[in-house]
Amino acid sequence: MKARIAVLPGDGIGPEVIAEGVRCLRALAERHGHELILTELPFGGAAIDLAGTPLPEDTLAACLQADAVLLGAIGGPKWSAPEATVRPEQGLLALRRALGVYANLRPVKVHPALLGASTLKPQVLEGVDLLFVRELTGGIYFGEKRREPDSATDVCTYTVAEIERIVRAAARLAQKRRRKLVSIDKSNVLETSRLWRAVATRIMRTEFPQIALEHMLVDSAAMHLIRRPSDFDVLVTENMFGDILTDEASMLAGSLGLLPSASLGEGTRGLYEPIHGSAPDIAGRGIANPCGTLLSVALLLRHSLGLEREAAALERAVSAAIEQGARTPDIAAKGARAISTREVGEAVLAKL
Ligand code: NAD
């Protein structure tokens, strides 16, 4: 197959982890006879330095023409001064909006060899394999904001159509997994949540009767996520609840550096990125964990290019490399030697 991929390394450790992602992508394409056209483009703080804006026109145009976008991470102290009016994060919000990616997928799997890497007890983590589906372009983050001298207001709005499409996206994913969907809301307090619950119930009853639906209040979900995380299969929720709960869930795996994400809209084009930020504290030292990026590449192969075999091969290679001790300092076992970003990339390539 032939596909176009826009590659946005970004800032901090972004370029370090993306370099490994690109190497694996090229290796897989060569091995399986695919023609992938990869174009690297400035984005985030790097683009502010270069062009005065975090999302230059050429970068946006290339992303809109691509079959998929692979992103490292953006941001850092250099662009975070309180008085700064141009910020890397503006580029990310604008890019998500332009691509129309409303569903953010974050799979969280606990690798058996890394049960000790989390702050939670190993017996709680055994068998954890869940998928968060977060609504990404609606809700309180995008509502009207007002500031008065002694008050402030953020408006939270959801339309029926916005809820329907995200619930359907989650249900389709649940269908290919263990057929359990938990819909998270705060319907005892919020009107938007009461609408959310009513729409989710209707969509699931009429279109996906074979999937078990459970409703859960967000506070209760926060508790159950660390009490019995292996019970969950697919979870769907609105933008802000998802923002908070997915960070909580990421800690089940032991390191931010391990987890991938995919942001999808209608059609197959998507935006793929590890869930971590630019990690300025370790940038430039060659010790960032590239696994979150490599697993994001696997999601790209699966969801945007339809290459399930290649995606699964990459996931198996990452897992096998970790199993055999290819680990950066964030997940190295006590007393074991940690290796570099590049060496982990090489170990995964060798497995491929
Ligand atoms: P962060 O995710 O960059 O780092 C948090 C901690 O996790 C740090 O100690 C870091 O060293 C560690 N870490 C992160 N990724 C790692 C990896 N791959 N391997 C090993 N360790 C890793 O979050 P932060 O420090 O809160 O934010 C730093 C900057 O990143 C900020 O400017 C923030 O705005 C930005 N940010 C960007 C994104 C994004 O690009 N989507 C997401 C979150 C934060």
**pLDDT at residue 333 above 90?**
no
Q: How far is CA 11 from CA 20, 71, 72, 89, 94, in A?
A: 15, 10, 8, 11, 17
Atom of ligand 1 nearest to the CA of 72: 40
**Ligand 1 atom closest to Cα of 80?**
32
- Residue 26 pLDDT exceeds 90: yes
What is the rounded distance in angstroms from the CA atom of residue 168 to the CA atom of residue 236?
10
Over range 245-268, report the average pLDDT: 93
- Write a three-state SS string for 64-131: HHCCEEEEEECCCHHHCCCCCCCCHHHHHHHHHHHHCCCEEEEEEECCHHHHHHCCCCHHHHCCCEEE
Q: Whose CA is nearest to atom 44 of ligand 1?
A: 277
- The amino acid occupying position 277 is G
Instruction: Report the first-to-last Cα separation within the chain, whole angstroms.
Output: 19
Q: Whose CA is nearest to atom 6 of ligand 1?
A: 279
Cβ contacts of 291 within 8 Å, gap of 6 or more: 257, 258, 318, 322, 344
Q: Is the pLDDT of residue 327 over 90?
A: yes
46 pLDDT exceeds 90?
yes
Cα–ligand 1 centroid distance for 65 (angstroms):
28
Which of these is catalytic: 2, 49, 58, 247?
A: 247
**pLDDT confidence of residue 55:** 98
Q: With left for phi above 0 and alpha for psi between -120 and 50, is residue 78 left, alpha or beta?
A: alpha
| Known catalytic residue at 176 | no
Annotated catalytic, 150?
Answer: no
Beta-carbon neighbour count of residue 307 at 10 Å? Answer: 21
Closest Cα to residue 183, out of 161, 200, 199, 208? 200
Averaged pLDDT of the chain: 96
Residue nearest to atom 37 of ligand 1 (CA): 277
Q: What is the pTM of this model?
A: 0.94
| Pair of tokens at residue 30 | 């060569």
In this prediction, what percent of the chain has a pLDDT beyond 70? 100
**Ligand 1, CB cutoff 6 Å, lining residues:** 13, 17, 73-76, 80, 92, 256-257, 273, 276-282, 288-289, 292, 328, 330
**Whole-number Å distance between alpha carbons of 352 and 279:** 28
Q: Is 102 a catalytic residue?
A: no
**What confidence score (pLDDT) does residue 335 get?**
84
**Span from the CA of 195 to the centroid of ligand 1 (angstroms):** 34
Ligand 1 center to 259 CA (angstroms): 12
* pLDDT at residue 187 tops 90: yes
79-116 pLDDT, tens per residue? 999 889 999 999 998 999 999 999 999 999 999 889 88
Q: What is the pLDDT of residue 336?
A: 86
In whole angstroms, what is the distance from residue 232 CA to residue 240 CA? 20
- The CATH fold assigned to 119-253 is Isopropylmalate Dehydrogenase (3.40.718)
The DSSP result for 16-61, as a single string, is: HHHHHHHHHHHHHHHHHT-EEEEEE---THHHHHHHSSSS-HHHHH
Q: Which candidate in 141, 154, 180, 231 is catalytic?
A: 141
**What are φ and ψ of residue 322, in 5° steps?**
-65, -45
Same fold across 1-101+261-352 and 119-253: yes
Q: Assign 145 a pLDDT band (cuts: 50, 70, 90).
A: very high
Second CATH level (architecture) for the domain 1-101+261-352 = 3-Layer(aba) Sandwich (3.40)
120 CB-contact burial (10 Å; exposed 0-12 / middle 13-18 / buried 19+): middle
Decide: helix, strand or coil at residue 145: strand
**Is 330 among the catalytic positions?**
no
pLDDT of residue 117: 83
Cα distance between residue 251 and residue 247, in whole Å: 7
pLDDT tens column, 61-88: 999 999 999 999 999 999 999 889 999 9
Domain boundaries, the chain: 1-101+261-352, 119-253
| Interstrand relation of 180-185 and 234-237 (parallel, antiparallel or unpaired) | parallel
- Ligand 1: centre distance to CA 287 (Å): 13
Per-residue model confidence as pLDDT tens digits over 273-316 = 999 999 999 999 999 999 999 999 999 999 999 999 999 999 99
